[in-house]
């Protein structure tokens, strides 16, 4: 049953679509993809062309907006909007530790999840588009991993696109995951240094917490094992505009005094868990390196291997040398599948995906070089999550792509100042800027 309801200024409709699990086997198993249609109540809102939003990740459903907040209000001036929960997320057929055993063992789960990358997401969009638009091409907006999906869309189904907009999500076209992380760790170090320059008192606070964790087994509510590497991974916050401030407030009152001495407070533990747990988005961890897989070379826990090339991230050495502890960012590693209860049952499945050697190519450089779709991309200078140099190289490889390179934002420009970011991208794509 289709449900339609209202929020201030908008009419929302729940849409559910059945799509093939494997688009190369359309007669086989089908899964469900959920999308939320959003239409402005302003006159003519229901007659506007369509914009489909592909969110970041992998592994997260589309943003749940209240009314016309953030960039959605600007989008609804020109479009009807379809917010898609990419396969496995949100209201779509779920894929997590609770549901994946229905597929069988780890091998069957890994084979199933191999169909959850950008190529399948784009084919879902193309299966859905005729029903939504009547066959007309639509505009697509991709944030972060959503931009990876848009780049694949331009490579393999540009006929479905009227315009393509990308924010913080131009991927390397040919680079291996190792190349991604060799570029990422120096950025993580710069973000750590910038945080300590802003909050010099956090140097000692971070060291005290790391020293405590090195000496005590700390299990957070729900069973998450907080180790020193897990604490370092709070650096994922540093990729957002307010992330340094959030990290500072998180660690400023970490300890409380008890009859047995100082311990990590309940409040600190709860706040850390809210950042580190992947219970709400396990596919982010399971598929994180798989989104870079192309060809026969396995990803093979790239972030973990490459980290060894950057000894300054060795917490033990930092503590021994009385050096500042470096935080890490968007880097999924094996220990997460031991620490996080939401990931532990998926450890072997993740191992099989890391060893996979038959990934299809995701991008077609020749087709991108001949692109005719209007494309605009916001590239955030020194973005912690997506390498600026990789993005600029890809921008040069896509014919007609116009860039907006800015240091006003971190990776979350669309969330931080969505109306301005979207307005700028639309102006660039339309040739009005």
Residues 315, 316, 318, 319, Cα dihedral to 10°? 110
Per-residue pLDDT, averaged over 243-261, amounts to: 96
How far apart CA 19 and CA 26 sit, in angstroms, is 8
Domain boundaries, the chain: 4-174+363-430, 177-354
Residue 186 has pLDDT above 80, yes or no: yes
| pLDDT tens track for 259-311 | 999 999 999 999 999 999 999 999 999 999 999 999 999 999 999 999 999 99
Contact 354, 333 (CB under 8 A): no
Specify the pLDDT at position 1.
55
Residue 318 has pLDDT above 70, yes or no: yes
Residue 129 has pLDDT above 80, yes or no: yes
Could you say which of 70, 120, 144, 192 is catalytic? 144
The helix/strand count (H/E) of the chain reads as 18, 13
> Which spans in 157-200 are helix H?
177-198
For the stretch 341-350, what's the b/e string if a residue is b when 16 or more beta carbons lie within 10 angstroms of its beta carbon? Answer: bbbebbeebb
| 138-143 and 50-54 beta bridge pairing | parallel
Q: Which CATH class is domain 4-174+363-430?
A: alpha beta
How far apart CA 405 and CA 389 sit, in angstroms, is 11
How far apart CA 413 and CA 325 sit, in angstroms, is 27
Q: How many beta carbons lie within 10 A of that of residue 200, not counting itself?
A: 10
Could you say which of 383, 387, 411, 423 is catalytic? 411
Helix (H) or strand (E) holding 316, with range, is helix 315-320
| pLDDT tens track for 196-225 | 999 999 999 999 999 999 999 999 999 999
- Phi–psi pair at 226, nearest 5 degrees: -90, 105
pTM of full prediction above 0.85 = yes
Specify the pLDDT at position 330.
87
Beta bridge partners of 329: none
Handedness of CA 312, 315, 319, 323 (dihedral sign): positive
Residue 404 has pLDDT above 70, yes or no: yes
Measured at the CA of 149, the angle between CA 235 and CA 350, to 5 degrees, comes to: 55
Contact 376, 401 (CB under 8 A): yes
| 50-54 and 225-226 beta bridge pairing | unpaired
How far apart CA 243 and CA 410 sit, in angstroms, is 9
Specify the pLDDT at position 329.
87
- Name the residue among 269, 267, 285 with its Cα closest to residue 224: 269
| 80-84 and 30-40 beta bridge pairing | antiparallel
Residue 433 has pLDDT above 90, yes or no: no
- Name the residue among 428, 390, 371, 393 with its Cα closest to residue 159: 371
Residue 243 has pLDDT above 70, yes or no: yes
Residue 331 has pLDDT above 60, yes or no: yes
Q: How many beta carbons lie within 10 A of that of residue 18, not counting itself?
A: 10
The per-residue DSSP string of 28-70 comes to S-EEEEEEEEEEESSTTGGGSPEEEEE-SSSS-PPP---TTTT
For the stretch 28-48, what's the b/e string if a residue is b when 16 or more beta carbons lie within 10 angstroms of its beta carbon? Answer: eeebebbbbbbbbeeeebeeb
DSSP state of 9: T
| pLDDT tens track for 354-398 | 999 999 999 999 999 999 999 999 999 999 999 999 999 999 999
Please say if 411 is a catalytic residue. yes
How far apart CA 419 and CA 112 sit, in angstroms, is 37
| pLDDT tens track for 50-75 | 999 999 999 999 999 999 999 999 99
Please say if 24 is a catalytic residue. no
Contact 299, 129 (CB under 8 A): no
- Name the residue among 234, 256, 255, 229 with its Cα closest to residue 246: 234
Please say if 120 is a catalytic residue. no
Q: What is the mean pLDDT of the chain?
A: 96
Per-residue pLDDT, averaged over 161-167, amounts to: 98
| pLDDT tens track for 23-52 | 999 999 999 999 999 999 999 999 999 999
């Amino acid at each position: 049953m289709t449900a339609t309801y209202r929020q201030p200024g908008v009419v929302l409709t729940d849409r559910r679509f059945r799509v093939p699990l494997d688009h190369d086997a359309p007669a086989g198993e089908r899964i469900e993809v959920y999308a939320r249609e959003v239409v402005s109540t302003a006159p003519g809102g229901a007659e506007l062309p369509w914009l489909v939003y592909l969110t970041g990740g992998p592994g997260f459903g589309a943003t749940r907006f209240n009314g016309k907040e953030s960039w959605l209000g600007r989008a609804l001036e020109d479009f009807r909007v379809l917010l898609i929960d990419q396969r496995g997320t949100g209201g779509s057929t779920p894929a997590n530790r609770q549901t994946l055993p229905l597929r069988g063992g780890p091998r069957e789960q890994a084979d199933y999840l191999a169909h959850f990358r950008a190529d399948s997401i784009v084919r879902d969009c193309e299966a859905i588009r005729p029903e939504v638009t009547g066959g007309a091409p639509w505009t697509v907006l991709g944030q972060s991993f959503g931009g990876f999906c848009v780049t694949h869309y331009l490579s393999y189904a540009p006929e479905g696109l009227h315009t393509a907009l990308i924010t913080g999500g131009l991927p390397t076209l040919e680079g291996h995951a190792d190349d991604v992380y060799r570029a990422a760790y120096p950025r993580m170090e710069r973000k750590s240094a910038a945080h300590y320059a802003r909050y010099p008192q956090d140097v000692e606070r971070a060291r005290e917490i790391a020293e405590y964790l090195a000496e005590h087994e700390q299990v957070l509510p729900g069973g998450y094992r907080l180790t020193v590497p897990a604490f370092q991974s709070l650096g994922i916050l540093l990729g957002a505009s307010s992330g340094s401030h959030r990290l500072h407030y998180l660690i400023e009152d970490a300890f409380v005094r008890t009859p047995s001495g100082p311990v990590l407070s309940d409040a600190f533990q709860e706040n850390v868990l809210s950042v580190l747990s992947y219970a709400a988005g396990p596919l982010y961890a399971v598929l994180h390196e798989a989104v870079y897989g192309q060809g026969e070379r396995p990803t093979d826990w790239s972030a973990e291997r490459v980290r060894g090339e950057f000894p300054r991230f060795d917490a033990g050495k930092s503590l021994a040398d009385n050096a500042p502890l470096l935080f890490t960012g968007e880097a999924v590693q094996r220990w997460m599948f031991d620490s996080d209860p939401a990931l532990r049952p998926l450890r072997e499945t993740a191992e099989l995906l890391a060893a996979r050697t038959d990934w299809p190519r995701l991008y077609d450089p020749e087709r991108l070089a001949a692109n005719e779709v209007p494309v605009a991309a916001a590239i955030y200078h020194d973005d912690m999550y997506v390498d600026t140099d990789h993005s600029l190289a890809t921008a040069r490889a896509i014919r007609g792509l116009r860039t907006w390179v800015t240091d006003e934002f971190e990776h979350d420009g669309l969330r931080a100042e969505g109306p301005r970011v979207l307005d700028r991208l639309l102006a660039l794509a339309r040739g009005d800027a």
